[in-house]
Amino acid sequence: MLSRLVLPVVAALVAVAVSSCTSTPHREPLLERGGGAREVATLKTPAGEFLALGANAKGYLEFKRLKDDAVMVLVPAGQFPMYEYTPDPADQMIWDMLDVPAFLIDKYEVTNKQVYEFLNASKNWTLRRGGIVGPDDEILLRGQEHGIWVADSGPEGSRPSPACRVQTGYEGYPAIGTSGVLAMAYAKWVGGDLPMYYEWQKAAAGPSGLTYPWGEQMPDSTLCNGFLWGPRHTMPVGSYPAGASPYGCLDMAGNVYERVYPVRSPGAVEPDLLPHSIKGASWLSPSWINFRNLDHCGQSPDACEGSVGFRTVIRDPKVIVALGVFDAWQPHLRVVDDVEAAFKEASERNVPIFLFLGHETCGSTDRVRAEIFTDARFIEYCNEKVVLLAGHDPGDGQSSPIPFGARGESLLIPGCQADKLQAVYDYFCFKIDMAIVPKQISEFRMSPAMFMLNPHRKLMEKSDQLVLVGEAEMPKGGVGMETLLKRCDEAQKMLGTGQSRADYLAGKPAPTVTWKAPQDE
């Protein structure tokens, strides 16, 4: 399995006007958790103005979109395991590890009040009997309980003012009776779009691919709005904070289904795309199966009924950069947590393996991860020129919450499974075949063990030839990044010409292997 070491999202945000803006940014007080107030800048972007709200309870940055007062959460770039639908959780399989660019997604489902304001600000629809229709006669909205009511006064084809109204007391409920056509129009109005299938699933499941937005616990009345335990109608958005997704999005399971484009991976966009898919279950869903992040259903974009709503996304890089979130678009370190996969790729590319073995939560190990593995120069070099293979043994920290997440994922190297990291560690340190692993690796002196390895095991005559650069030559403690890169270069020279990962993925011819076992003198 491949992973990326993703930096934790922190609340630090440069809240300044974009350089292209010459006017002084509008400022207003923002209440902080402590009750005090600080001033924040209005950030101008191609999608309109935003306010930076800081980090939410999950540690991810939030912004208020001033066009409609929606709160948006930043989902940073990186990989996540995309699980394919199956009715049997025992058969649940990862369809792919998807590398998803950064995007913003609404924290809450779009509300009645927000749709009401959009409709009465828009010129793109007219009122007719049975509902609101667009210029091509697609049904956009029908009056629903707890939703928006269409005014029925006036002759057919007229547009009284106001043309529709929200039922009193239901302004903060999710907008139901809305079609996919209306949802797309609303998303465009606020400078965004509806989510792709994979974007929605990442926002709900998080970087480790949880079963439900909140984790592995079966759904109940504390976590989401479902038919068997709920009030049997919609509830105000955000009514179930305990059911928040790993990024802090609410109501991604239950309350109302949400419209998404049926695009399963980046780069698979089709022409004339419409939101035919719905995800997330609703107040009328009775089965736990429907509340899983991988579950999905379909509905015509013209349909309007009481169990389907929507939320929006913004994926334009210019918007994210204008918000000052530069780290969201920085490259992330590629990590392999499978021994055979690492040797296979490295041998085909004729590049060295950078072996990293961590024990417990050793301070020196932590410093390497924090200082070296997040350095942009190191990331760029390693992603293209070596294969980074990681192993981790929790040791005495076995029962600590640090090494393991709800699904067994490593919290130290996000996206990697803890059992696979343990297996890599065991391969080199515990399940030792002395013909394959030399003592200098299996008996390394201090965590983290770092070696540059020869990937050509079949060409070796003895195990010592596995190590191209030894532990003593690899600086530890979070210092010496330049030295580490020099050691990588030295290891590559021993192997001959290597192939970049970009050329490897493009299917270009592999370089000729020139390394040969040295002859004994």
Domain with CATH 3.40.30.10 in the chain: 331-505
Which pLDDT score is estimated for 133? 78
Cα separation, 259 vs 183, in Å, equals: 8
Task: Please state which of the four CATH numbers 3.10.20.440, 3.10.129.10, 3.40.30.10, 3.10.50.40 is assigned to the domain occupying 331-505.
Answer: 3.40.30.10
Q: What is the pLDDT of residue 402?
A: 54
What is the 3-state composition of the chain as percent helix, strand, coil, each rounded to the nearest 5?
25, 25, 55
Q: 2-112+181-322 sits in which CATH class?
A: alpha beta
Residue 518: CB atoms within 10 Å: 9
Q: What is the pLDDT of residue 493?
A: 95
C-alpha to C-alpha distances, 240 to 167, 224, 248, 250, 255, nearest whole angstrom: 22, 6, 11, 7, 10
The predicted structure's pLDDT at residue 36: 37
**Portions of the chain given CATH number 3.90.1580:** 2-112+181-322
Residues of the chain with pLDDT under 50: 1-39, 160, 521
Q: What is the pLDDT of residues 25-61, one digit of tens each?
A: 333 333 333 333 334 568 999 999 999 988 888 888 9
Residue-level pLDDT at 6? 35
Give the pLDDT confidence score for residue 387 in this predicted structure.
Answer: 95
**Ramachandran class of 84: left when φ > 0, alpha when ψ lies in -120 to 50, beta otherwise:** beta
pLDDT for res 15: 26
